[in-house]
């Protein structure tokens, strides 16, 4: 194994991972999705999870986020086992400690962009005025203040993904999960969204788990983890 490659479950000596998947197995009926996948993510690190369609990379992300329970193996977050938590505890993690950016944004169409960004805070009990103040700050940082009062159906795809990034970051999460965040965008908008996401993550110290099949998107990450046939084959350090 070269100096540029390590096991996907390893971190540098002396560093404890913030989030770790350990020998995960997951099947949907008779179809295996994960067959011994492992991954460790440190605080403040962006890791790109790559692999062909059907390789298990999205299932791995969903297990890491506590959305899907693995059939075997463990996901540990800050030394707690996610599968040992109650549904209420995992939901609280996804509202506060975890942020999400999906391929198509998944914004609530009936809400304005400002209300969409404020929604995670409102669900966590923050008063409307304070939630919208914090949401407006993120709209300004991501340069979409001009669409604050519009609804998702009235804005462009690139603007919508910036709103989704703002929504993911408004709770000051420790981990951001981004599943093909540029898959529905053209190259220019995709690069703009990734630049803003990477900068915002660095500014806040959040870890990012980025699922993508595009090398140009993976180039924003600190490391690449390749998933094939449900296994994490290798971790490649990305040259800067």
Instruction: Assess whether pLDDT exceeds 90 at residue 236.
Output: no
For all residues of the chain together, what is the average pLDDT? 89
β-sheet with 31-41: strand ranges across: 31-41, 19-28, 72-77, 80-81
Confidence band for 3, pLDDT divided at 50, 70 and 90: very low
Do 168 and 189 reside in the same domain of the chain? no
Give the model confidence (pLDDT) of 114-142 as tens digits.
Answer: 999 999 999 989 999 999 999 999 999 98
Q: Give yes or no: residues 5 and 93 share one domain.
A: yes
* pLDDT recorded at residue 239: 54
Burial label for 218, CB within 10 Å (0-12, 13-18, 19+), is: buried
Q: Does residue 128 sit within a domain?
A: yes
CA separation for the pair 214, 233 (Å, rounded): 18
Q: In this model, does residue 24 exceed pLDDT 50? A: yes
By residue range, what is the domain housing residue 164?
Answer: 109-172
Residue 173 CA to residue 95 CA, distance in Å, equals 9
- What are 29-77's pLDDT values in tens digits? 999 999 999 999 999 999 999 998 888 999 999 999 999 999 999 999 9
Here the tokens at position 240 are 């800067």
For the chain, the domain total comes to: 2
The whole-number pLDDT of residue 200 equals: 87
Find how far residue 73's CA is from the centre of its chain.
Answer: 21
Q: Are residues 77 and 187 in the same domain?
A: yes
**Domain assignment present for 103:** no
Burial of 240 from C-beta contacts in 10 A (0-12 / 13-18 / 19+): exposed
Together in a domain, 20 and 123: no
d(CA 20, CA 14): 15
Q: Is residue 237's pLDDT more than 90?
A: no
End position of a domain, from candidates 157, 172, 187: 172
């Amino acid at each position: 194994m070269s100096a540029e490659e390590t096991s996907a479950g390893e971190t540098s000596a002396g560093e404890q991972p913030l989030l770790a998947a350990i020998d995960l197995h997951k099947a949907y009926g008779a179809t295996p999705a994960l067959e011994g996948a492992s991954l460790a993510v440190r605080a403040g690190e962006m890791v790109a999870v790559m692999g062909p369609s059907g390789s298990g990379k999205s299932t791995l992300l969903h297990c890491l986020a506590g959305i899907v329970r693995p059939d075997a193996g463990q996901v540990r977050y800050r030394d707690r086992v996610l599968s040992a938590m109650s549904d209420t505890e995992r939901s609280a993690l996804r509202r506060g400690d975890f942020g999400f950016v999906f391929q198509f944004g998944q914004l609530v169409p009936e809400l304005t962009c400002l209300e969409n960004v404020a929604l995670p805070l409102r669900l966590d009990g923050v008063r409307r005025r304070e939630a919208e103040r914090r949401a407006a700050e993120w709209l300004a940082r991501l340069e979409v203040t001009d669409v604050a009062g519009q609804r998702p159906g009235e804005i462009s795809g690139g603007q919508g993904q910036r709103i989704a990034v703002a929504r993911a970051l408004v709770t000051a999460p420790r981990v951001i999960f981004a599943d093909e965040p540029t898959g529905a965008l053209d190259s220019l908008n995709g690069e703009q969204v990734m630049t803003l996401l990477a900068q915002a993550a660095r500014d806040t110290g959040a870890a990012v788990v980025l699922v993508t099949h595009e090398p140009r998107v993976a180039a924003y990450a600190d490391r690449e983890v390749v998933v094939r046939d449900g296994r994490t084959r290798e971790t490649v350090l990305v040259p800067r």
